[in-house]
Structure 1
Amino acid sequence: MAIIKDKDFIRGKCPMTKEDIRVLTIAKMDIQEDSKIIDIGSGTGTITVQSAIEASKGMVYSIERDEDAYDTTIKNIDKFNCTNVEITKGEAIEVLDSYIEKGIKVDSIFIGGSGGSIEKIIDRCDALLKEDGALVMNFITLDNCYKAMEYVKRYSYLTNISLVNISNNREGTYMMISNNPIFIVKCSKGEV
């Protein structure tokens, strides 16, 4: 897997899944060359772009509701020439409902943002995932992680939770600066 460096992405005012977390997240998504993927809450588009590169013969469906984030995702899709991405601006639930109506089935789904609707989003993700699919979610707060994990219990998933604490040195020194800890949750469908 050739990981794109943070500095190579166009940045807006929106959140970005940073490189170290992105590497782990992408690895947990089990992406194959022909995978179909949904990225919910694309932010700057780092997961969308990295997924599109990994699934070069597949498809990435990217969803973002915020105007600045949507525009930044499009800029990064264009910068990295990702021709296998379909991006939609809108509320995740409405967009996911349209995918269900179209009969779309995907290999993996990443939830990077839920806008407070994690339960409804998980319901739709279950309908969209193939029987051996992977649902991967990143959370900054324990509260949101707990809510998602309690809700996902109603489905047949094998779950794995990682709490990842990354620190990087500050500009040529040995002083380590800590990033926010991130919960990375992988739910494997049909593997209970």
Structure 2
Amino acid sequence: MRFIKDEEFIRGNCPMTKEETRILSIAKLEIEEDSKVLDVGAGTGSISIQAAKICSKGKVIGIEKDEDALDVLYKNKEKFQTYNFEIIEGEAMEKLNEINESFDAVFIGGSGGNLKEIINVSLEKLKPKGRIVLNFITIDNLYIALNTLKQLGVTAECNQIQVSRAKGRTHMMVANNPIFIISGGK
């Protein structure tokens, strides 16, 4: 399996799940080539695109509401020829309620302020033994997610990763934002 490098993605002005975080998050999803994956808050599509490459005999659905992100998302879908990746445009909660499918894995990278509700509905759509992975920068969202999962009886693991990259001739280390990765199973 070849993981896609950050510089390969079309970016625009949209935030993107960075390479190291993306690889770890994808690993925690535990997806197979025939898995069905849901990506809530798909952004540039870095998680969706990578998942679609792994799930070549499966399906990935990404939900995104931001118009700038959608433009980049469609461009990345075309660039990487991920025809098993379906993009759904709109608010996560509205679109989640319209989806009548179940999934092997759910990734939540954005919530638009409806995190608790998104987790609830996403877990309803998760197959038995399915995996859920969530990424956050803020402690507020981390707390809401962990508390919600606990209330729903999901045992969750939480990791915080900090990645720094060397820049320039002197290889000065420049830090990316620390990221919280929550993962759990149904």
Q: Post-superposition, which runs of at least 4 consecutive aligned residues in structure 1 deviate over 2 A? A: 171-174
- Most deviating of 112-121 and 155-164: 155-164
User: Following TM superposition, by how much is the alpha carbon of 1:115 offset from its aligned partner in structure 2, in angstroms?
Assistant: 0.5
Aligned length: 186
SS at match of 1:157: coil
| Counterpart residue number, 2:37 | 37
| Counterpart residue number, 1:157 | 154
| Equivalent residue in structure 2 for 1:169, among 166, 169, 178 | 166
In structure 2, what is the Cα distance between the partners aligned to 1:185 and 1:125? 14
**Would the aligned equivalents of 2:149 and 2:155 in 1 still touch at CA under 8 Å?**
no
Q: Does 1:105 align with 2:125?
A: no
In structure 1, what is the Cα distance between the partners aligned to 2:18 and 2:120? 27
In structure 1, what is the Cα distance between the partners aligned to 2:153 and 2:58? 26
1:43-93: CA deviation from partner (whole Å, max 9, x where unpaired) = 111001000001000000010000010110110010000010110110001
In structure 2, what is the Cα distance between the partners aligned to 1:29 and 1:127? 17
Q: Alignment identity in percent?
A: 48
| Counterpart residue number, 2:15 | 15
In structure 2, what is the Cα distance between the partners aligned to 1:181 and 1:94? 30
Q: Map residues 1-192 of structure 1 onto 2, 5 A cutoff.
A: 1-99=1-99, 102=100, 104-189=101-186
User: Following TM superposition, by how much is the alpha carbon of 1:171 offset from its aligned partner in structure 2, in angstroms?
Assistant: 3.0
In structure 2, what is the Cα distance between the partners aligned to 1:145 and 1:132? 23
RMSD between superposed Cα atoms in Å:
0.9
User: Following TM superposition, by how much is the alpha carbon of 1:172 offset from its aligned partner in structure 2, in angstroms?
Assistant: 3.9
SS at match of 1:153: helix
* 1:51 to 1:172, Cα distance in 2 relative to 1, 3 A: farther
TM-score by length of 1: 0.94
TM-score by length of 2: 0.97
SS at match of 2:14: coil
In structure 2, what is the Cα distance between the partners aligned to 1:24 and 1:80? 20
Aligned AA for 1:147? I
In structure 2, what is the Cα distance between the partners aligned to 1:78 and 1:173? 38
- Most deviating of 172-181 and 107-116: 172-181
Provide structure 2 residue ranges, at least 5 long, that are not aligned to the other structure: none
